[in-house]
Amino acid sequence: MTENFRGPEEPQNPQEKRIEDDKETIVLPDHEEMITRLIKVDDNPHLQERFYPILLKAAGQKRVPQGIVMMLALAIHDYTEGMPPMMASLMYMKAPDFIDALINDTVVAEETKKLLQSALSGSN
């Protein structure tokens, strides 16, 4: 007689379990709250039309601090594509304000800003 016991069922995506267990998991604001917060950072119509919609695709999602940094970096890349390189630099100057707007927990927001700075400087 063969037993088919395999133990507790593992999640389909091991990354998913890790994110849920992480105390630093960030749940981004829903669409309406997120756009309101972003506009408080900068109400520039061009950002509202072209940059914020890129970020809003992540509204309501769970992210870890590294995920927020990646989300911002990809959004800045997509937004500034075809623009002078200085535009990306200007957007990265605003990134800490976007982080503060999107993350309620000040400790996690500070960690995220440090990760962003580390990524930008190329240090570990």
Tokens (6 digits) for 9:
């069922």
Look at residue 123 in the predicted model and tell me its pLDDT: 75
Extract the runs of DSSP E, i.e. beta strands, from 1-124: 26-27, 62-63
What is the residue extent of each domain of the chain? 24-121
Q: Do 34 and 71 contact (CB within 8 A), yes or no?
A: no
Residue 3 burial (10 A CB sphere; 0-12, 13-18, 19+): exposed
Look at residue 19 in the predicted model and tell me its pLDDT: 43
- Return averaged pLDDT per consecutive 10 residues of the chain, 124 residues in all: 52 48 82 98 97 98 97 98 96 98 96 96 79
Q: Can you tell me which residue has the tokens 């749940």?
A: 27
Look at residue 2 in the predicted model and tell me its pLDDT: 53
62: left (phi over 0), alpha (psi -120 to 50) or beta: beta
Q: Can you tell me which residue has the tokens 């890790």?
A: 18
Q: What is the DSSP letter of 29?
A: P
Q: Do 93 and 41 contact (CB within 8 A), yes or no?
A: no
**Interior CA angle at 80 toward 79 and 84, to 5°?**
165
Look at residue 74 in the predicted model and tell me its pLDDT: 98
Look at residue 80 in the predicted model and tell me its pLDDT: 98
